[in-house]
Amino acid sequence: SSSGSSSNKVPLLLSKDVIQDFRKDGFAVFPNFLSLQSVLGLNERLEFVLRGVYNRGDNQQPDKIPRLVKSQIPKACLILHPKMDDHNDDDDDDNNKEQECSTISSGSNNQKNKNRRKNIREAAGPLGFSGNFQNVKVIQIINIHKSDYLFRSLAVCEEIAKLVTILAGWKYGARLAQDQIWAK
């Protein structure tokens, strides 16, 4: 994959044991298949998608997504873009970053929306976690590849498709039906 989603350690010469275990158990484990940087990038992009910020277009939302998170992304979750929360009205680049990362998806840049952005609190943890351990929910997103380039690069990764066809024993390749994210 040109986006660097995988670490190019595709085990295309799979042992018969791995293939048999996959067909019996329904899964196989490939440690370090994705690099740590790739995983951190996907986690960061998930935070943006959960707030309605899509990098494939404003109207390109996933087919199923939970209610949008209203809190700001915790700074600890901004691994690849640590300065995305900086606000400086004098600098056009910072204004673009603020608008891109804003939880307000209308794209409007009027004073009312600027004031609303400043009053939004930072989440206590990833996935919009409020800090309340009594009400932790499982989040499901279907077809995130429609709204995010990084998730799309993973969902249509040629190396993963080859791996799936080998494990499943399909002669004619694989085709993406849908992707799903389950997170807690």
* Helices of type H across the chain: 16-25, 36-49, 92-101, 111-118, 149-155, 158-168
Residue 183's pLDDT band (boundaries 50, 70, 90)?
Answer: confident
Q: Is residue 30 left, alpha or beta, with left meaning phi > 0 and alpha meaning psi from -120 to 50?
A: beta
Domain region containing 169: 16-183
Find the farthest-apart pair of alpha carbons in the chain and give their distance in angstroms, rounded: 63
Strand partners, 142: 64, 180
Q: Residue 120: inside a domain, yes or no?
A: yes
Q: Each residue of 98-117: pLDDT tens digit?
A: 333 322 222 333 343 444 44
When pLDDT is averaged across residues 161-176 and rounded to a whole number, the result is 91
Q: Residue 7: inside a domain, yes or no?
A: no
Q: Each residue of 141-167: pLDDT tens digit?
A: 999 999 999 999 999 999 899 999 999
Q: Say how many domains are in the chain.
A: 1
| Res. 10: pLDDT tops 50 | yes
Q: Residue 179: inside a domain, yes or no?
A: yes
Q: Residue 133: inside a domain, yes or no?
A: yes
The verdict on pTM exceeding 0.75 is no
pLDDT, greater one: 41 or 131: 41
Name every residue whose Cβ is closer than 8 Å to that of residue 75 and which is 6 or more positions away in sequence. Answer: 82, 85, 122
Q: Residue 1: inside a domain, yes or no?
A: no
What CA–CA distance (Å, rounded) separates 65 from 52?
9
**Can you read off the two tokens belonging to residue 108?**
């409007």
When pLDDT is averaged across residues 78-107 and rounded to a whole number, the result is 41
Q: Each residue of 17-26: pLDDT tens digit?
A: 999 999 999 9
Compute the half-sphere exposure of residue 182: CA atoms within 13 Å on the CB side of its CA.
1
What CA–CA distance (Å, rounded) separates 32 from 140?
24
Q: Residue 163: inside a domain, yes or no?
A: yes
Q: Residue 44: inside a domain, yes or no?
A: yes
What CA–CA distance (Å, rounded) separates 164 from 167?
5
Q: Residue 6: inside a domain, yes or no?
A: no
